[in-house]
Structure 1
Amino acid sequence: MQFQQLQQAFIAHIKDPQQPAPQGIEDRRMAIYRELFFNNVLGFVSTAFPVLKSLYTDANWQQLVRRFFIDYQCSSPYFLHIAEHFLHYLQQDYQMQEQAPVFLQELAHYEWAELYLATKQPAQVEIPLAAEQISSSALCLSDLSMLLAYPYAVHSISVDYQPVESGEVQFYLLYRNDADEVKFVLINQLTAALLQTLQQAPGSTLSQLVEQLQPLLPQLSATQLQQGAIALLQDFAAKGVLVSFQAAQNSLP
């Protein structure tokens, strides 16, 4: 057997023990490799998705991760990349099983987003805006924040709370504060609209934001809308979510 064939057979058997092992290697040695590789992936995925893991029995969780290990072609061995690959697998390739929660993909994305922000490096140094600068500055959301929406209250999901059907859309602002802690804010649809407008048009001024939001809220005057926007933006500035356009020119991922 040529080296490349041997290598392919080795990898295929490590990923799926049902595949024949390479000839000439005793099963005792192969078992060590099988256990080592799978346990590494299992540990990475379990660490990245602790809430999701808690909703499964140990046997069912290992079965889920095993299917991922067998079916998905990971392009990187790094912890963060394996977590992202697992999310992609759930979103694109996984066939929902009876024991899988209906909110599987949404909860997995929420947990991945927390990990993503906890480890992300901003494109450049960001300087939060002071409250008095909001009215006169170009505005941008921090590169260490994300706007999310799910038809489940994913922040409340636990062993004791598992919704069985989708409901009203929940809007979230995830961000990493100056203590490098990832926090979330549950926001309403109007606040989400404000942040989404800013996300899509980084560098907008307050007056430009108000102008873009006005058609969505015709019942409010421009003055009322501006006053409400200032109060929200001041709160986000205090959290470090709002930065100057010069400090962060990249939009959210």
Structure 2
Amino acid sequence: MQLIPNKTFALQTDLGLYCRTGRDQPETSIQEHTFHYRRLVYNIIKDTMKTAFPIARKLIGKKRWKKSVAYFFENHKCETPQIWKLPSEFCEFYEKNPFPFKKEFPFLKELLQYEWLEIDVFMMEDLPVEKFKTTRLSKKDILIPNPEIRILPLQYPVHIKKIKQITQEDKEQYFVSIHRDYYTKQVKFNDLSFALVEMLIRINEEETSIFDLENLFSKYENDTGKTEKVIDTFIDFALRNNLILGFKNN
């Protein structure tokens, strides 16, 4: 028997609610199999979260992690149809909802964001890159950035310190770049100072030469010789780590 559209939608809604909560099992064409839907859907969610957040899961322990995922599954109406994007919604859900261990792990929100961004960057679409050369001719050359990058500001060093060794005394300003290598397509991470972040943002937002970077950095250092040395070191570092791909010769 074919269901009319509004009844079909109602059944889908009821089945989705049942899969999330385990309550009010709807009538389906094969009733004895209905309970399997919830188990299968929940296993997909559970495995996705386990894969996405291995460090966070280890930090809070398997029992609390299991309860957290179940709480999310039962109370969150998923917005994305793509299962790999669901960890992003978990990050938002954690931030907006009460969890009993939030005070115990004040850096967990940032850890979840950090782990999610590794997935986000790895899965992001290929972005267009301007043609570039690997050698520079002068300080007037325009720096060509790797656009497949995210920069995450942090209050805790979740990217550089063993997670169980982080304490309240570590709280200060940190920055980490998460980018996809142009050649290998692997995700890489770099700890950055605020000055380096400012330079990377400038390079990604507008055409920027080495002269421009020296002028930008001059507000941190009055000595011209030291500024030039810092910029040279930064460019070498950025090229080596694939944050800058090359140059456009002017």
Residue 206, structure 1, aligned to residue 210, structure 2:
yes
Partner of 2:3: none
Whole-angstrom CA distance in 2 between matches of 1:134 and 1:30 = 69
Structural mapping, 1:98-137, within 5 Å: 98=101, 101-125=105-129, 130-133=134-137, 135-137=139-141
Q: What per-residue deviation string (whole Å, max 9, x for no partner) do you get for residues 142-186 of structure 1?
A: 122222221111124556434356612222222233323222222
Residue 242, structure 1, aligned to residue 244, structure 2:
yes
Aligned partner (choices 205, 225, 228) of residue 227 of structure 2: 225
Partner of 1:35: 39
Aligned partner (choices 1, 5, 11) of residue 16 of structure 2: 11
* Amino acid of the structure 1 residue aligned with 2:100: Q
Q: Is the CA contact (8 Å cut-off) linking 1:55 and 1:158 kept in structure 2?
A: no
Q: Is the CA contact (8 Å cut-off) linking 1:151 and 1:168 kept in structure 2?
A: yes
Q: 31-40 or 6-15, which moves further after superposition?
A: 6-15
Q: Give the number of aligned pairs.
A: 241
Aligned partner (choices 184, 188, 207) of residue 183 of structure 1: 188
Q: 1:191 to 1:2 in 2, by over 3 A?
A: closer
* Amino acid of the structure 1 residue aligned with 2:226: Q
Whole-angstrom CA distance in 1 between matches of 2:106 and 2:139 = 44
Q: Is the CA contact (8 Å cut-off) linking 1:141 and 1:202 kept in structure 2?
A: no
Q: Cα RMSD (Å) of the superposition?
A: 2.8
Residue 53, structure 1, aligned to residue 57, structure 2:
yes
TM-score, normalized by length of structure 2? 0.82
TM-score, normalized by length of structure 1? 0.81
* Amino acid of the structure 1 residue aligned with 2:13: Q
Whole-angstrom CA distance in 1 between matches of 2:208 and 2:162 = 39
Partner of 1:163: 167
Q: Is the CA contact (8 Å cut-off) linking 2:143 and 2:207 kept in structure 1?
A: yes
Q: Is the CA contact (8 Å cut-off) linking 1:138 and 1:204 kept in structure 2?
A: yes
Partner of 1:96: 99
Q: 1:28 to 1:164 in 2, by over 3 A?
A: farther
Q: What per-residue deviation string (whole Å, max 9, x for no partner) do you get for residues 40-61 of structure 1?
A: 0111111011111112332321
1:195 CA displacement: 2.2
Residue 75, structure 1, aligned to residue 79, structure 2:
yes
1:213 CA displacement: 3.1
Q: 122-131 or 96-105, which moves further after superposition?
A: 122-131
Partner of 1:249: none
* Amino acid of the structure 1 residue aligned with 2:240: A
Whole-angstrom CA distance in 1 between matches of 2:137 and 2:88 = 37
* Amino acid of the structure 2 residue aligned with 1:88: E
Q: Is the CA contact (8 Å cut-off) linking 1:14 and 1:34 kept in structure 2?
A: yes
1:242 CA displacement: 0.7
Unaligned segments of structure 2, at least 5 residues: 1-5
1:108 CA displacement: 0.7
Q: Is the CA contact (8 Å cut-off) linking 2:239 and 2:246 kept in structure 1?
A: no
* Amino acid of the structure 1 residue aligned with 2:93: Y
Q: 1:188 to 1:125 in 2, by over 3 A?
A: closer
Quick one: higher RCO (CA 8 Å, sep 6+), 1 or 2?
1
Unaligned segments of structure 1, at least 5 residues: 247-253
* Amino acid of the structure 1 residue aligned with 2:184: A
| SS of structure 2 residue aligned to 1:2 | helix
* Amino acid of the structure 1 residue aligned with 2:212: Q
Identity %: 18
Whole-angstrom CA distance in 1 between matches of 2:34 and 2:12 = 13
1:202 CA displacement: 2.5
| SS of structure 1 residue aligned to 2:147 | coil
